[in-house]
Amino acid sequence: MEKTKRIIQKTVDWFRVHKVPLPWRESRDPYRIWISEVMLQQTRIETVIPYYQRFLEELPTVFDLAACEEEKLLKLWEGLGYYSRARNLKKCAEVLCAQCKGEFPQEAEQLEKLPGIGAYTAGAIASIAFGKRAPAVDGNVLRVMTRLFADKSDIALSKTREKIAAQLKEAYPEGAAAGDFTQGIMEIGETKCIPNGVPLCPSCPLAEECETRRQKLWEEIPYKSPKKERRIEEKTVFLLQCGEKYAIEKRADSGLLASLFGFPMADGHCSEASAREQLCRAGFAVQSIAPCGSAKHIFTHVEWHMIGFWAQVETPLPCYLWKTAPEILESVALPSAFRAFRKIIQKNG
Ligand code: SF4
């Protein structure tokens, strides 16, 4: 407990002097903090900044988000990936507007009851916006804390996360220091106790407290049990062109990229002949067909290995939506899985 208190104090002192200015640090508005925290999950800070600014220009309040059309929301999110995050934001905003007059609850336990808000995000909002004693334990915090205590627990397990949250909660500060510690320890994880490569211990404000540094255990800690290998799925993507328009479809409402728009796809890698045959069977009169490249997209547990065919067809069958390249580029939120094929239509108009 004494050591944890010292770690907290040193982190707060360091953060107040060294914090990097970021747009979401200019405000204690829980809405802005929430949006930034959700965007920052699985996405790098430099990537998030322009998205964050554009999002708040378009949707400056929780009421604007609750009332936003899904298509517009997904377009604002296009390129950030993990679209369920955007949908959950909207769901949560609707609940806040309907049940809480648009006000965020201040306690982490209450925030966690809202749709899409987990323990980490609840802790971040409660501590940064409301100065509550609420730990927010992400991968950075796990790495720094296990290293400080030379703790060899498996950081892939939720019980390790819970143990560290409980340890921090006992000593967590209140008021402005709560938010400064939450952000400071994450920043130490991002800039000093880095995830890949040798940690920058000589400039780390917590070096004196660190058992891993003392025992030179950097390679062993944090310990993470090996991940299961990702499943590889082969796919064939069809760029179907009829005149100036291309076919897109809304994907099924479950599974990967659920309910998002995409180009038509088939399972497996088709040969040119079988791609033509599939299109003919679907009712298309194919004027020409040719391979148009390949791409790979990595999801959490699955990899898509895609090849593409570009086909000119005679009639725009109604099983798909038909849009010009500018319409697709400007108003359809295409997941980044289709980036390589989107580039092709962008280049060819
Ligand atoms: S001293 Fe080194 S290993 Fe320890 S927390 Fe700081 S950067 Fe990480």
- CATH at 127: 1.10.340.30
Tell me how far apart the alpha carbons of residues 155 and 59 are, in angstroms, rounded to a whole number. Answer: 36
25 lies in some domain: yes
**CATH number for 295:** 3.90.79.10
244 domain residue, yes or no: yes
User: Is the shortest distance between the CB of 199 and ligand 1 below 6 Å?
Assistant: yes
Query: 55 and 179, same structural domain?
Result: yes
Residue with tokens 């990229």: 257
What CA–CA distances, in Å, run from 71 to 80, 210, 246, 248?
Answer: 15, 48, 19, 14
Residue 219 in any domain: the answer is no
Q: For the chain, how far is it from start to end, CA to CA, in angstroms?
A: 63
Number of the ligand 1 atom closest to the C-alpha atom of 199: 7
What is the Cα–Cα distance from 108 to 102, expressed in whole angstroms?
A: 17
Q: Are residues 177 and 237 in the same domain?
A: no
Same domain, 165 and 256: no
User: Is 336 a residue whose pLDDT tops 80?
Assistant: yes
Q: Are residues 162 and 40 in the same domain?
A: yes
> Cβ distance 263 to 247 under 8 Å?
yes
The rounded distance, in Å, linking the Cα atoms of 347 and 349 is: 6
| Residue 11: other Cβ atoms inside 10 A | 25
Residue 349 has pLDDT above 70, yes or no: no
- Indicate the pLDDT class of residue 333, thresholds 50, 70 and 90: confident
Same-domain status, 297 and 177: no
- Structural domain includes residue 226: no
Residues 79 and 181 placed together within one structural domain of the fold: yes
Tens digit of each residue's pLDDT (9 = 90 or more) over 3-58: 999 999 999 999 999 999 999 998 899 999 999 999 998 788 999 999 999 999 99
- The per-residue pLDDT for range 186-233, each reduced to its tens digit, is 999 999 999 988 999 999 999 999 999 999 998 999 999 888 889 999
Considering the domain boundaries, does residue 328 fall inside one? yes
Q: Are residues 103 and 247 in the same domain?
A: no
Q: Which domain holds residue 124?
A: 2-136+156-185
Same domain as 244, residue 127:
no
The answer on 122 and 13 residing in a single domain is: yes
Q: How far is CA 189 from CA 140, 148, 196, in A?
A: 5, 11, 11
Strand partners, 248: 321
93-148 pLDDT, tens per residue?
A: 999 999 989 999 999 999 999 999 999 999 999 999 999 999 999 999 999 999 99
Number of domains making up the chain: 2
For residue 166, report the distance from its CA to the centre of ligand 1, in Å: 21
**Which of 42, 37, 56 has the alpha carbon at shortest distance from 122?**
37
- Overall pTM > 0.85: no
Shared-domain flag, residues 129 and 242: no
Tokens of 317: 């069958």
In a domain, 269, yes or no: yes
Residues 123, 256, single domain; the answer is: no
- 224 lies in some domain: no
Residue 131 included in any domain: yes
Residue range 6-21, pLDDT digits in tens? 999 999 999 999 999 9
Residue where a domain terminates, one of 167, 185, 203: 185
Cα separation, 216 vs 109, whole angstroms: 38
Atom of ligand 1 nearest to the CA of 144: 5
Do residues 56 and 178 share a domain?
Answer: yes
- Segment 236-256, tens digit of pLDDT: 999 999 999 999 999 998 889
Going by CA atoms, what residue is nearest to atom 8 of ligand 1?
193
pLDDT of residue 121: 96
Q: Whose Cα sits closest to atom 4 in ligand 1?
A: 210
